[in-house]
Amino acid sequence: MTPADEGFAAAKRDNEKNDEINIDFVYQQTDTELLLTLLNPKTDARYYLKKELANRGLDNDGLWVGFAKAKKIHRV
């Protein structure tokens, strides 16, 4: 077992989330310029989240509904 595998196994035992789905780590690799843009009150960060969900064809519960329906749900 690799060290990474051991870490994932330990996280699973301790009921921790993988870094990929842990909200505490979501912005670690995000460019500073983008972080500053999102921090700006003129930027509607929720719009971009909704747009991404629509681009994946997902509804508000993360269920596949298709691209057209997801765009309607998220109004993007």
User: How do residues 23-47 score in pLDDT, each as one tens digit?
Assistant: 888 899 999 999 999 999 999 999 9
Spatial distance between the Cα atoms of 4 and 42, rounded to a whole number of angstroms? 40
Query: Is residue 9 within 8 Å of residue 1, measured between CB atoms?
Result: yes
Spatial distance between the Cα atoms of 3 and 53, rounded to a whole number of angstroms? 33
Closest CA to 53 of 31, 75, 32: 75
- The whole-model pTM stands at 0.71
User: How do residues 52-76 score in pLDDT, each as one tens digit?
Assistant: 999 999 999 999 999 999 999 999 9
